[in-house]
């Protein structure tokens, strides 16, 4: 067992078994307001077109494909369960209309260095539909050679020939949704996919030269136990993906209707979840993985681990990224975007999304224009989440303020985390310790002004 894993006691894990944001943005999406409209967003796009950002930094694109053939009971994503594949064709037409509205604002041919297709299940689309979608995007944007182009893959919807199509279309990163290899757990969450199928697909993907393969896992699902999850961990280590995303299941049936089909009595106890997390960390680090931060592990040679070592790690609505901090355009139902000092979110239902586009309007229904305080805190929180440190001087020069005076309450609150061994604080910086990196969300939460005024955290997942 690694020295780092040994240092993380169950007691410490239990102490920080609390809810909190994932900080894919700050302020977090639950703070978006309907007072921010499509007109506000259009103004932000116009400012980008006339500003230096349009020339200096490439864009990131996110495309949400909401369709799934079957319902996974744990899922909290915005999705539409249907076996009617003909629903994809009109959706793709509306995506094209949305892109037309963007290019009318920012111009054709903007450079893109990052693309992510999420869902739902993007592989719900057939090969011809994926070709059409990518052709449409390439007509409107310029894709940078060597960029990061990823797609979420439901192993139940693809085979080796479909992997050929994904490679042909320029995808270089795949994320396989595994969650758990245990057949009993798979049955309990209504997602049955034999381990042999996943192993065969990963082997085929490697043969086709994909630059990085990620596997998603979830602990805390019904019928899981520390012992059963140990078996899944051993299988994942044998699979040896380039990256592993390990998420805690948040059971919120009052918010997410599919979760009502999960038998609460079959959920593991809090102590069992803590044990699964602790054992996962130890198993992955023993297998040679680097803990990148907040649920993410990567092999040392993977670009994500290299970016962490070199201090080039970034974070956006897709999670950790090697790409520089840049504007993000979110396409499709419920997608979230970031342009300059604004965030925006599209309509969450197909009907409303289609209606906006039929009117020739961007389908933005809420968002936020960031205040100066938001921008300062975003810089601090992202520095903690990505680099694990905040240099006071860099914040003071950027925002013309005195760090210790501005954040007097926060500096006092950090004392408890310092006593727990999670951070060190001196005259010039806050540094997250090796142990504290596993609890970095708790450190970032200290600087979240919205949490300071609203202690209701039930809307968030557990931070570990």
Q: Specify whether 386 is located in the same domain as 437.
A: yes
Q: Specify whether 404 is located in the same domain as 286.
A: no
Q: Specify whether 322 is located in the same domain as 383.
A: no
Work out the percent of the chain whose per-residue pLDDT is above 90: 76
> Could you report the per-residue pLDDT of 330-350, keeping only the tens digit for each?
999 999 999 999 999 999 999
With 0-12 CB in 10 A as exposed, 13-18 as middle and 19+ as buried, what is 11? exposed
Domain boundary among 274, 303, 328: 328
Interval 95-117 mean pLDDT = 95
Q: What is the mean pLDDT of the chain?
A: 91
Q: Specify whether 291 is located in the same domain as 406.
A: no
With 0-12 CB in 10 A as exposed, 13-18 as middle and 19+ as buried, what is 282? middle
For residue 6, what pLDDT is reported? 46
> Do 242 and 164 meet the contact criterion of CB atoms below 8 Å apart?
no
The domain in which residue 378 lies consists of 371-464
**197 vs 24, which has greater pLDDT?**
197
**Structure letter (DSSP) for residue 145:** E
Q: Specify whether 399 is located in the same domain as 264.
A: no
Question: Is residue 353 situated within a structural domain?
Answer: no
Question: Is residue 366 situated within a structural domain?
Answer: no
User: What DSSP string runs through 399-443?
Assistant: HTS-HHHHTHHHHHHHHHHHHTTSEEE-SSEEEE-TTGGGGHHHH
Q: Name, in order, each residue with C-beta under 8 angstroms of 61's C-beta and a sequence gap of 6 or more.
A: 112, 114, 115, 116, 137, 141, 328, 329, 331
Number of residues that make up the chain? 464
Q: Using alpha carbons, select from 403, 404, 416 the residue that is nearest to residue 445.
A: 416
For residue 4, what pLDDT is reported? 44
Assessment of whether the complete model's pTM goes beyond 0.85: yes
Question: Is residue 335 situated within a structural domain?
Answer: no
pLDDT band at 452 (very low <50, low <70, confident <90, very high): confident
Helix 195-207 vs helix 160-168: crossing angle, to nearest 10? 40
Q: Specify whether 323 is located in the same domain as 408.
A: no
Q: How far apart are CA 289 and CA 275, in angstroms?
A: 19
Q: Specify whether 297 is located in the same domain as 414.
A: no
For residue 262, what pLDDT is reported? 95
For residue 462, what pLDDT is reported? 61
Q: Specify whether 195 is located in the same domain as 61.
A: yes
**Structure letter (DSSP) for residue 33:** B
pLDDT band at 52 (very low <50, low <70, confident <90, very high): low
Cis geometry, peptide bond prior to residue 27 (ω within 30 degrees of 0): yes
| CA angle in degrees (0–180, nearest 5) for 461-462-463 | 110
Whether residue 399 is predicted with pLDDT greater than 60 in this model: the reply is yes
Q: Specify whether 449 is located in the same domain as 306.
A: no
Q: Is 257 helix (H, G, I), strand (E, B) or coil?
A: helix
> Could you report the per-residue pLDDT of 204-241, keeping only the tens digit for each?
999 999 999 999 999 999 999 999 999 999 999 999 99
Question: Is residue 81 situated within a structural domain?
Answer: yes
CB atoms within 10 A of CB 204: 17
Question: Is residue 364 situated within a structural domain?
Answer: no
- Number of domains the chain contains: 2
> Do 447 and 439 meet the contact criterion of CB atoms below 8 Å apart?
no
Q: Specify whether 404 is located in the same domain as 461.
A: yes
For residue 2, what pLDDT is reported? 40
Q: Measuring CA to CA, how many Å separate 180 from each of 118, 292, 387, 461?
A: 20, 21, 30, 19
Domain boundary among 328, 363, 380: 328
Question: Is residue 362 situated within a structural domain?
Answer: no
Domain boundary among 303, 328, 353: 328
Q: Name, in order, each residue with C-beta under 8 angstroms of 56's C-beta and a sequence gap of 6 or more.
A: none
Query: The domain spanning residue 444 has which CATH number?
Result: 1.10.10.920
Q: Specify whether 82 is located in the same domain as 206.
A: yes
Q: Specify whether 92 is located in the same domain as 156.
A: yes
Q: Name, in order, each residue with C-beta under 8 angstroms of 38's C-beta and a sequence gap of 6 or more.
A: 356, 361, 362, 363, 364
Cα atoms in the Cβ-side hemisphere of radius 13 Å centred on 197? 15
Query: The domain spanning residue 254 has which CATH number?
Result: 3.80.30.20
For residue 3, what pLDDT is reported? 38
> Do 439 and 464 meet the contact criterion of CB atoms below 8 Å apart?
yes
């Amino acid at each position: 067992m690694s020295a780092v894993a040994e240092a993380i006691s169950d007691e410490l894990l239990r102490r920080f078994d609390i809810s909190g944001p994932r900080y894919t943005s700050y302020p977090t999406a639950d703070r978006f307001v309907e007072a921010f409209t499509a007109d506000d967003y259009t103004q932000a796009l116009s400012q980008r077109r006339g500003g230096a950002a349009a020339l200096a930094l490439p864009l990131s694109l996110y495309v949400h494909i909401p369709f799934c053939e079957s319902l996974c009971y744990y899922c909290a994503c915005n999705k539409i369960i249907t076996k009617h594949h003909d629903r994809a064709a009109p959706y793709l037409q509306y995506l094209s209309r949305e892109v037309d509205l963007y290019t009318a604002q920012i111009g054709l041919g903007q450079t893109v260095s990052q693309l992510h297709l999420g869902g739902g299940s993007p592989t719900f689309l057939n090969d011809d539909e994926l070709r059409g979608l990518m052709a449409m995007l390439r007509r409107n944007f310029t894709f940078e050679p060597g960029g990061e182009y990823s797609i979420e893959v439901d192993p139940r919807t693809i085979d080796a020939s479909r992997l050929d199509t994904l490679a042909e279309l320029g995808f270089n990163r795949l994320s396989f949704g595994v969650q758990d290899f245990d057949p009993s757990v798979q049955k309990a969450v209504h997602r049955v996919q034999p381990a042999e199928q996943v192993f065969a697909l990963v082997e085929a993907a490697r043969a086709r030269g994909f630059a990085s393969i990620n596997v998603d896992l979830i602990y805390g699902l019904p019928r899981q136990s520390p012992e059963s999850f140990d078996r899944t961990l051993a299988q994942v280590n044998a699979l040896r993906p380039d990256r592993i995303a390990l998420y805690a299941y948040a059971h919120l049936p009052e918010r997410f209707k599919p979760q009502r089909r999960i038998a609460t009595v079959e959920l593991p106890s809090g102590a069992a979840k803590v044990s699964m997390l602790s054992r996962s960390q130890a198993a992955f680090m023993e297998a040679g993985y680097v803990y990148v931060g907040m649920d993410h592990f990567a092999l040392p040679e993977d670009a994500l681990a290299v970016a962490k070592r070199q201090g080039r790690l970034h974070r956006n609505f897709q999670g950790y990224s090697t790409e520089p901090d840049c504007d993000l355009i979110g396409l499709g139902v419920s997608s979230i975007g970031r342009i300059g000092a604004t965030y925006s979110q599209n309509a969450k239902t197909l009907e409303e999304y289609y209606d906006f586009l039929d009117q020739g309007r961007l389908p933005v229904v809420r968002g936020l224009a960031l205040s100066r305080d938001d921008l300062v805190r975003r810089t601090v929180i992202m520095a903690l989440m990505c680099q694990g440190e905040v240099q006071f001087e860099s914040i003071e020069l950027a925002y013309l303020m005195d760090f210790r005076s501005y954040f007097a309450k926060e500096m006092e609150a950090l004392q408890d985390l310092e006593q727990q061994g999670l951070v060190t604080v001196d005259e010039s910086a806050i540094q997250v310790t090796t142990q504290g990196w596993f609890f970095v969300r708790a450190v970032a939460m200290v600087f979240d002004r919205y949490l300071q005024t609203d202690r209701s955290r039930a809307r968030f997942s557990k931070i570990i």
